[in-house]
Structure 1
Amino acid sequence: MKFGGELNKEEISTETDREIFKYISDKRILRALFEERIFKLREIQKEAIKKGLFFRKSFLICAPSGSGKTLIGELCAVNNIF
């Protein structure tokens, strides 16, 4: 993942679900997600953010394989670095 540079909503692919901006406001995190072609959050990821993922809350996430748990961990780690 790369960080930095200006983030312009207009330059983001038209396939982007703009809902991601409701959940993530840090431009560095958004830029990294878009560079990895992640334009939408899964329900479990949205729920983790709503419950305080970016406010250093403790979580236990139990979900099936392929549901998005790894990205939750990565978002938490990157947020703590910033």
Structure 2
Amino acid sequence: MIKTTVQVDGMMCGMCESHVNDAVRKACQVDKVTSSHGKGETVILSQQPLEEAALKAAINATGYEVTSITSEPYEKKKGIFSFLHK
């Protein structure tokens, strides 16, 4: 899995987060997307790397501004003691 973190300016509330999440779901094939207006970021989990230009265009079209996009491999930790297996 790939974890993509997008820094987004302009989100002020939960409804803003919802608008960004919906735009991401419509533009890209994702497994999970969550946004935080407090952190000013959207975190996306997907099977394949996302096309950054399409992602940026989709979010900017909602009236918010993408300031950066970073991607990294993501491995879901399993079990209550998963933190012990580093």
Structure number with greater Rg is 2
Taking structure 1 as the reference length, what is the TM-score of the superposition?
A: 0.26
Q: Which has the higher contact order (CA 8 A, sep 6+)?
A: 2
Considering fraction of residues, name the structure with more helix: 1
Taking structure 2 as the reference length, what is the TM-score of the superposition?
A: 0.25
